[in-house]
Amino acid sequence: MTADRLDSLVTFHPFTRLNTLLEGVQPGGGNTPLLLHVGEPQFSPPAFVAQAIHEAATGWSKYPPTAGTDSFRTAVKSWLDRRYGLPTEMVDATRAILPVAGTREALFQIALSAVALGAVKGKTKVLMGNPFYHAYAGAAAVAGGTPEFLASDRASNFQPDLKQITAAQLDGAAMVYLCSPANPQGSVATLDYLKQWLTLARKHDFLIAADECYAEIYTEMPPPGALEAARDLGGALDHLLVFHSLSKRSSAPGLRSGFIAGDPRFIARQAQLVNYGGVAVPLPILAASTRLWQDEDHVAANRARYRRNFDLAQEILGPIFGEIRPEGGFFLWLEVGDGERAAIELWKHAAIKVLPGGYMARGDASGRNPGARFIRVALILEPDETAAALRRMAKVLEGMMAMSKSGKTAAAAGGTR
């Protein structure tokens, strides 16, 4: 990879850009700084996590197997079967499931395999929605592929708009990243939509990397998953991998534990990547992870906290922005007019750090950045803390929006003279 492509990874990294934007800006308002720009859950994981790690402590002295343990893979298979209503024979626990040391890492690494396999056929494009999770574009660049950003606006429910994708794009694709619930917008892909994508993947021979890390955080109905689409299309797993994480589901980002499931060809390739230069999940972490995938009580409790946070957001910010509850995930995607300005004002006057939406997107063919008018806010604090943070935000954003409206009114009035 050329030096300029490496440099672009630094230049376009959203948190690097945010640090540069806020350099020299002091957090103000006499408030304790709150970091709501990162999707790092702050709820405590279940107490049994520490107990499970303690009970499996002898495993720290052993190199962990890349494939994990039988008990882990069995727990994951049982969860997938229950959660998505899968036939018991559909997902083979040995060949179609692999533990991963964090799904961000696995989402990044899978591009190495997909682009390498596609390149021999002249297929090096990596498709993704726009905006997108930054690891996707970084993975495409490092793998030697070409990231291609697909329109994903309100009209298409913030999922890549299938009507705007050409056959040439699909023919040139090595893989596509799909995210549902979406980061940052929280939109949920329908089952029919996922089936359309899987049908296209098989027709045009590319891999779907279905990022479902927010699948257990939702406001009403559980989001459908890509494995359900595979089930409805006959049960085969080819051209599909799904990615799940305990970071969001179980408020355990420090465990660095998740799994991938799907096409055995890519499961095997990912295992070899780990064998050569990756990180296998340690045995004590696998023991705790097994317990977490077997337990639903803590997940329901987490979901209730997030639901309460979004109720508070609607109550406090709704008068400014209207309906803002997402279908899933834990981010607010607020249209503020100028995301960078809002990020500066919120840090300067409320000591709240948020991410400008433009940092999660690229300019389209017309040069318009579809995220530029937005900010992403992670509602990852306990409800009481969230309420206080939202009230601080409301004071700043209400003033900003009022000034923006008055400026538009003045400009309109000036234009009639």
- pLDDT at position 33 is 95
Summarize the confidence of residues 325-341 as an average pLDDT.
97
Q: Which helix (H) or strand (E) holds 129?
A: strand 125-130
- pLDDT at position 407 is 55
pLDDT digits (tens, 9 = 90+) for 222-278: 999 999 999 999 999 999 999 999 999 999 999 999 999 999 999 999 999 999 999
Summarize the confidence of residues 27-51 as an average pLDDT.
93
- pLDDT at position 91 is 98
Give the mean pLDDT of the chain: 94
Q: Which one-letter amino acid corresponds to residue 208?
A: I
pLDDT digits (tens, 9 = 90+) for 302-313: 999 999 999 999
Among candidates 321, 322, 313, 349, which has minimal Cα distance to 337? Answer: 321
Bridge partners (DSSP) of residue 97 are 261
- pLDDT at position 413 is 46
* Alpha helices, DSSP H, located in 85-171: 103-119, 134-142, 167-171
Among candidates 173, 105, 102, 170, which has minimal Cα distance to 136? Answer: 105
* Alpha helices, DSSP H, located in 208-338: 226-232, 246-249, 264-277, 283-294, 297-321
- pLDDT at position 410 is 42
Q: 156 pLDDT exceeds 50?
A: yes
Question: How many CA atoms lie less than 13 Å away from 389 in the CB half-sphere?
Answer: 25
pLDDT digits (tens, 9 = 90+) for 270-279: 999 999 999 9
Q: Tokens 């997107």 correspond to what residue?
A: 361
Summarize the confidence of residues 399-409 as an average pLDDT.
68
Summarize the confidence of residues 147-160 as an average pLDDT.
94
- Coil vs helix vs strand at 375: strand
Say if residues 373 and 337 touch (Cβ distance below 8 Å): yes
How far is it, in rounded angstroms, from Cα 229 to Cα 244?
16
Summarize the confidence of residues 187-191 as an average pLDDT.
98
Say if residues 97 and 76 touch (Cβ distance below 8 Å): yes
Say if residues 270 and 102 touch (Cβ distance below 8 Å): no
How far is it, in rounded angstroms, from Cα 211 to Cα 215?
9
Instruction: Output the pTM of the full model.
Output: 0.94
Q: Which residue has the higher pLDDT, 405 or 230?
A: 230
pLDDT digits (tens, 9 = 90+) for 199-224: 999 999 999 999 999 999 999 899 99
Q: 409 pLDDT exceeds 80?
A: no
pLDDT digits (tens, 9 = 90+) for 75-115: 999 999 999 999 999 999 999 999 999 999 999 999 999 99
- pLDDT at position 241 is 98
User: Confidence band (pLDDT; 50, 70, 90) for 327?
Assistant: very high
